[in-house]
Amino acid sequence: MEKKEGEETENGTTQEKGSICGFDSLYHLLQTSLSPQLFQKVNRILLGLNCGKKLESIALPQPVKALSANHDFDLQAFSFFADKESLRGPRVVRVGLIQNSIALPTTEPFLNQREAIFQKLIPMIDAAGSSGVNILCLQEAWTMPFAFCTREKKWCEFAEEIDGESTKFLQQLAQKYNMVIISPILERDVNHGETLWNTAVIIGNHGNIIGKHRKNHIPRVGDFNESTYYMEGNTGHPVFETAYGKIAVNICYGRHHPLNWLAFGLNGAEIVFNPSATVGELSEPMWPIEARNAAIANSYFVGSINRVGTEVFPNPFTSGDGKPQHADFGHFYGSSHFSAPDASCTPSLARHKDGLLISDMDLNLCRQLKDKWGFRMTARYDVYADLLARYVKPDFEPQVISDPLLHKSG
């Protein structure tokens, strides 16, 4: 798709004109145009079935709905069930995802931009907390515009230490609502030469810092010039055991790497979050597929978060692809959603609007799907390990068997 011209809004983002239809829009189009019987069949493929049934909506408190209406953010909630077991009770956890646009134009003072985002998120976090959300994940680099397309170093000022201003801000809310919060930020590591990292901070439900994870895979595609600012992370594939379950964070570009998803699963994750910043021209056809596939292949839940809007920067930039210089990344298409290990998934949040998505998920479903499919039992890790051990060596030779007739002369 080509980038579309847009109108600038008061927060410095633009809204697409005539933009392509996202998955959420397509879903609602089908829902209104097909007969109920036919839509039910289509829905089974688009969103799957959870324990043989379509997902049920969750009724949220009226004050939460009022927050959504007053602050104009999308609000949706669904339940994933598991089969009833004889020896274990349900392990239901309520999880939330927040997607948002920036709050001020990128030309405003950085301190004002950051504070405006803080204030913008308060009603959404309040809505999550008042709905009983146990674990909440924010989008990638949520405290700032996603300025890594520009290659300008002034945006490094948004970087902060693990216990910096954004963490202190969220610690109060985590403690207030007894809620684990995942906060993806631009980290400044002062103990190692002030090196920058793309990092997710895990804040416990008592307001404590449980730990951090740094982005494993850094894109070098299109406008994503992120290695100008930070390189591949060095924290491995940690799983954080919280009061509500074992969680992990696969930051943005890592979703394109199946072995990255696998590693979190091998370490025991029950929910993996994928906080992202990705644009329609580059990745939208892949968005509803990759996380759902990861949830199926690794028998865990996945929460996918993407920011919203088209962020316009003061100085035009190029991408080394011969195209004209431009001042924006493209449209961040939101569409945050949850995927379950049984191939079911929620409808996505809006494509052009801030939003809070809530889901109840019975973590017993993870083991039930492991038992059903036996992916761990039938995997050939020893074979894969042998291939990878040989592949990383300089003298690796691919295992290719050629038809001898291809090289026969005459």
Half-sphere exposure of 143 (CA within 13 A, CB side): 28
Of the candidates 95, 102, 76, 45, the one whose C-alpha atom is nearest the C-alpha of residue 288 is 45
**Choice among 252, 290, 311, 345 that is catalytic:** 252
Helix axes 23-33, 36-46, angle to 10 degrees: 160
Q: Which of 120, 212, 215, 246 is catalytic?
A: 215
Q: Report helix, strand or coil for 287.
A: helix
252 belongs to the catalytic site: yes
Beta bridge partners of 275: 305
- For residue 265, which of 253, 248, 240, 251 has the smallest C-alpha distance? 248
- Could you tell me which of 287, 291, 274 has the C-alpha nearest to residue 331? 287
97 class by beta-carbon count within 10 Å (0-12 exposed, 13-18 middle, 19+ buried): buried
| 284 part of the active site | no
Q: Determine the Cα–Cα distance for residues 65 and 352; give it in Å rounded to an integer.
A: 19
Residues for the chain: how many in total? 410
Q: Which of 16, 140, 160, 284 is catalytic?
A: 140
The C-alpha R_g of the chain, in whole angstroms, comes to 22
Question: Is 215 marked active-site?
Answer: yes
**Helical H runs in 83-228?**
110-130, 165-177
Q: What is residue 323's DSSP assignment? A: P
User: Euclidean distance between the first and final Cα of the chain, in Å?
Assistant: 49
Residue among 140, 120, 128, 249 at smallest CA distance from 178: 128
Cα→Cα distances 244→93, 205, 360, 377, Å? 6, 9, 12, 27
- Report, as residue numbers or ranges, the catalytic residues: 140, 215, 252
